[in-house]
Amino acid sequence: MSRLVLFYVSLYDVIFYFMKNIVVLTGAGMSVESGFSTFRGADGLWNNYKVEDVASHSGWTRNPELVNEFYNQMRKQLLSAHPNKGHFLLAELENKHNISIITQNVDNLHERAGSSKVLHLHGELMKVTSSKDVDNPNCIKELNAENYEVKPGDLAADGSLLRPYIVFFQEPVPNIERAIGITQQADIFVIIGTSLNVYPAASLIQFVKKDVPIYLIDPHPVPVSEYRNIVYIQKTASAGIQLLMDKYL
């Protein structure tokens, strides 16, 4: 019996040894195929609002009711969106590798597709929190399809106004240190659907260890010529991830 146990432990160790730590950084292009628009898109909800009015700390201070109504509409849009093939392919990769996803997106499409390790840099759309102590876990509340709206005057557990659990412009990014630590452990680093123009998320590529291969998936040109070991896959997220899995992983 003991020998059999030792065999299984050894087999597990062998499998774990050959699993790669793959870190994936995703941006707005990851969700385009799901029909979920962002403020950098050419159409959609953002066309009717100024970014500084609904996505900045000063905008929240000026008019919290406008900000909450805007994110109510965004949640309604997200509830009608579905994970695309690219989301499901990343979830499928967990069967072969240790996958960590760092996302600039506030949607929950990675989680809905089945990915188990997702770090949100810019917050989570389906959550609300205290406007006094944003990261207080006792005040963070997850919304659902039956209850996705924040009404004027709704309060958090600490008595302050409820606000979106979103990192507004003019606010620090609390998860960036965790993201750096995850990036430094990568055996393979994959970038999907981001222009690498938004900081500090764009700086993560600087923390990839030397000689670690980097795969960049985007249908549009991305200025990364100064970095080494980059394979540029000029395709949409789903097509690019499929090619990555077929040819490189």
Active site residues: 122
Q: Return the closest-CA partner of residue 71 out of 147, 148, 152, 133.
A: 148
Q: How far apart are CA 218 and CA 215, in angstroms?
A: 10
Q: What angle do CA 128, 134, 136 make, to 5 degrees?
A: 95
How far apart are alpha carbons 2 and 81 in whole angstroms?
Answer: 51
Residues whose CB is less than 8 angstroms from the CB of residue 242 and which lie 6 or more positions away in sequence, other chains included: 85, 89
If you ran DSSP here, which 8-state letter would residue 169 be given? B
Buried b / exposed e over 188-216, threshold 16 CB at 10 Å, is: bbbbbbbebebeebbebbebbeeebebbb
- Distance (Å, rounded) from C-alpha 188 to C-alpha 49? 38
Which two structure tokens, joined as six digits, stand for 81?
């969106």
Helix, coil or strand: residue 133: coil
Measure the CA–CA gap between 125 and 154, rounded to whole angstroms: 17
